[in-house]
Every structure is written in C-alpha cells, then in structure tokens.
C-alpha cells in the first residue's frame, strides 16, 4: 500500500502514512515555479505506484481541489495502481444532498460519479447526510470524526456539549459518550446563507464550560447564534468545535464571541488542533 496526498490534505496524508507504516508518494503540483498563469491545476507523481493499493487523500474543497483530485486519480490509475481508495476527509458538496428545486443537480452524487471513474471505493468523514453514500456508484462509507474531537474535549475538561441543530445531535451523543459529558441540542431555522434563528430553550449551562459541536463551520453564523444563547444563559467558557472548519467570509469575526475554536485536520486551518489520522488508519485497515 502507498499513500498519495493532494495539496489540500498533505499533513493528514503524511500522518496517515505514518500511522499505517506505508510509504508516502510525493507529488509535484507545479510544472514551473508559480504554476500555470491561468490557474489550472497540475499534478505529477514523483514515485512508483504500479501494482499498489493506493490511498488518495484529498479534501474536495475549495473547487480547484476537486479538479486536482480527478487529475491525481487518473495519474495513479494510468501509472498502474491495482486498487485506488479515495479518502476524502471533507466531502465538499455534501450539503447539496437532494434536488431541493426542479432543475438542480444532486451535487454530492455528481461528484461521486466522477470520483468513481478511477477509484474503487470511497471513505469520507462525518458527512452531512450519510444516507447519500448509499446512492454512490462505488462502495462508500463514513468514518466518524467524533472520537478525535471527543478526546480533545475530554482533555480540555469540557462540562457540557451542545448541538446547535438537530443534524448535530448524533455528534454530541457520540462525543458525550466518549467524554462522559452531558449534552443537549437546539432547534435551528436557516433564514439565508449567513443568518440562522435558534428557538430559545433552557439549558443546564450556568457557570459551565460548554462546547458547541457541529459537523461544519462555514460562515460561523450557526455557532455564533448558539454561543449568544449560551452567554445569555450564563455559560462560563464557550468553545466552538467542529470536524470540518471551513471558516469562510467573516467567520473569524463572527466567532469572536467564543473563547476558543477547534477543528480537525480534515480541512487544514489555523484552528486545526486534532488529527483524524488514527480514525482513518483504522478504517483503512478494516477494508476487505
Ligand atoms: C448545516 O446544517 C451544517 O450542519 C452546519 O450547521 C452549517 O453548514 C454551518 O454553516 P455556518 O457556519 O455558515 O452557519
């Protein structure tokens, strides 16, 4: 087995290779220093992968990383790999998991069709709607990021976990079991891409250190709204914790209300505090 990392996921890909005790294959992402002037992607494998089982690690966010993934998968197949596992730490486009309006595409599935061109199976982490994986043209499964986050929150002596919406309940349930911490959830209604409303609810958080746990932080609107509610109810310390930290637009400013921001390395950011390499290594070892 060998591990190849796309440019969105090199630290995680290297950590995974170390966990698995297998070689990491370097890739060149620029033909000439500075890359192509028009911004097109370029990949060149700098090691042999013929007859190998290759694990290709690449988050599909932002969009250029999708193209780079497709180029890498093709290069790996052309170079004679016998099996290619697409390991997509954060599956970009997962939130368009159905046709909300006539004429739309189910983007999560569109991406999977293209991934399937050169990959035999797909592993991802804490996807927005795990049901979508059943519709993919290759075997696809989800690995939970909560053990990694739960270990961190336990060490940080968090007293309480809060899901900012019903979709995150499965995360706080699992995290609560790992860190022996009580949890609760809020009900959220999205107004637009940036604003959400949260129904008021009495929470047992007075003087507590609380972590708001979500799958994704994008603009930070969801977490900031939940954090305001926690402050209003007397929480002493508020942590924003997520598996996938995108932190787009004004997220940093929105989240100033929190005492700390924590994310995993599915998306590399200044707030990456914990690696999910052990979780993915266990999932790779468990493949048939
Ligand atoms: C949506 O249901 C997701 O689980 C997240 O709550 C959402 O994507 C977070 O987005 P934002 O940070 O922009 O509020």
Nearest residue by C-alpha to atom 3 in ligand 1: 216
How many angstroms separate the alpha carbon of residue 275 from the centre of ligand 1? Answer: 21
CA neighbours closer than 13 Å in the CB half-sphere of residue 99: 6
CA distance 18 to 62: 26
Which ligand 1 atom sits nearest the alpha carbon of residue 246? 12
Q: What is the pLDDT of residue 108?
A: 98
Nearest residue by C-alpha to atom 10 in ligand 1: 218
- Straight-line distance from the first to the last Cα atom of the chain, in angstroms, rounded to the nearest whole number: 13
Which ligand 1 atom sits nearest the alpha carbon of residue 220? 12
Work out whether the CA dihedral 146, 257, 156, 198 comes out positive or negative. negative
CA distance 90 to 87: 9
How many angstroms separate the alpha carbon of residue 216 from the centre of ligand 1? Answer: 6
Picking from 271, 254, 208, the residue whose alpha carbon sits closest to that of residue 235 is 208
Nearest residue by C-alpha to atom 5 in ligand 1: 216
Q: What is the CA radius of gyration of the chain?
A: 20
Most ligand 1 atoms within 8 A of CB, residue of 195, 214, 219, 250 to mutate: 214
Determine if the pTM surpasses 0.85.
yes
Residues acting as catalytic residues: 188
Instruction: Estimate to the nearest angstrom the gap between the alpha carbon of 132 and the chain centroid.
Output: 16
Q: What is the pLDDT of residue 186?
A: 97
Q: How many residues does the chain have?
A: 288
How many angstroms separate the alpha carbon of residue 225 from the centre of ligand 1? Answer: 11
Q: What is the pLDDT of residue 194?
A: 84
Q: Are 207 and 143 in contact (CB under 8 A)?
A: no
Q: What are the backbone angles phi and psi of residue 272, rounded to the nearest 5°?
A: -70, 120
Which ligand 1 atom sits nearest the alpha carbon of residue 218? 12
Q: What is the pLDDT of residue 238?
A: 98
Q: What is the pLDDT of residue 288?
A: 82
pLDDT in tens, the chain (288 residues): 999 999 999 999 999 999 999 999 999 999 998 888 899 999 999 999 999 999 999 999 999 999 999 999 999 999 999 999 999 999 999 999 999 999 999 999 999 999 999 999 999 999 999 999 999 999 999 999 999 999 999 999 999 999 999 999 999 999 999 999 999 999 999 999 889 999 989 999 999 999 999 999 999 999 999 999 999 999 999 999 999 999 999 999 999 999 999 999 999 999 999 999 999 999 999 998
Which ligand 1 atom sits nearest the alpha carbon of residue 219? 13
How many angstroms separate the alpha carbon of residue 222 from the centre of ligand 1? Answer: 6
Residues with CB under 6 A from ligand 1: 165, 167, 196, 214-222
Q: Are 158 and 146 in contact (CB under 8 A)?
A: no
CA distance 72 to 67: 9
Nearest residue by C-alpha to atom 2 in ligand 1: 167
Q: Are 153 and 241 in contact (CB under 8 A)?
A: yes
Picking from 182, 192, 190, the residue whose alpha carbon sits closest to that of residue 213 is 182
CA neighbours closer than 13 Å in the CB half-sphere of residue 239: 22
How many angstroms separate the alpha carbon of residue 92 from the centre of ligand 1? Answer: 13
């Amino acid at each position: 087995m060998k591990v190849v990392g796309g440019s969105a996921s090199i630290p995680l890909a290297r950590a995974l290779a170390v966990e698995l005790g297998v070689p990491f294959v370097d890739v060149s992402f620029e033909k000439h220093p500075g890359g192509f002037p028009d911004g097109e992607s370029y990949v060149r494998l700098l090691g042999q992968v013929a007859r190998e089982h290759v694990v290709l690690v690449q988050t599909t966010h932002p969009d250029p990383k999708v193209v780079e993934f497709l180029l890498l998968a093709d290069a790996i197949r052309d170079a004679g790999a016998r099996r290619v596992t697409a390991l997509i730490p954060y599956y970009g486009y997962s939130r368009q998991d159905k046709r909300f309006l006539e004429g739309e595409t189910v983007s999560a599935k569109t991406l999977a069709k293209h991934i399937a061109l050169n990959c035999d199976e797909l592993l991802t982490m804490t996807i927005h709607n795990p049901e979508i994986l059943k519709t993919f043209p290759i075997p696809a499964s989800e690995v939970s990021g909560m053990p990694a986050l739960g270990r961190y929150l336990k060490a940080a002596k968090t007293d309480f976990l809060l899901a900012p919406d019903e979709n995150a309940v499965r995360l706080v349930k699992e995290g609560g079991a790992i860190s022996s911490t009580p949890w609760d959830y809020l009900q959220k209604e999205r107004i637009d891409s940036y604003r959400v409303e949260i129904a008021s609810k009495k929470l047992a958080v007075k003087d507590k250190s609380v972590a708001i746990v979500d799958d994704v932080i994008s603009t930070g609107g969801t977490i900031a709204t939940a954090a305001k509610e926690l402050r209003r109810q007397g929480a002493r310390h508020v942590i924003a914790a997520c598996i996938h930290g995108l932190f787009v637009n004004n997220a940093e400013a929105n989240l100033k209300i929190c005492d700390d921001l924590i994310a995993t390395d599915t998306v590399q950011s200044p707030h990456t505090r914990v690696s999910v390499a052990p979780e993915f290594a266990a999932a790779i070892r468990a493949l048939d």
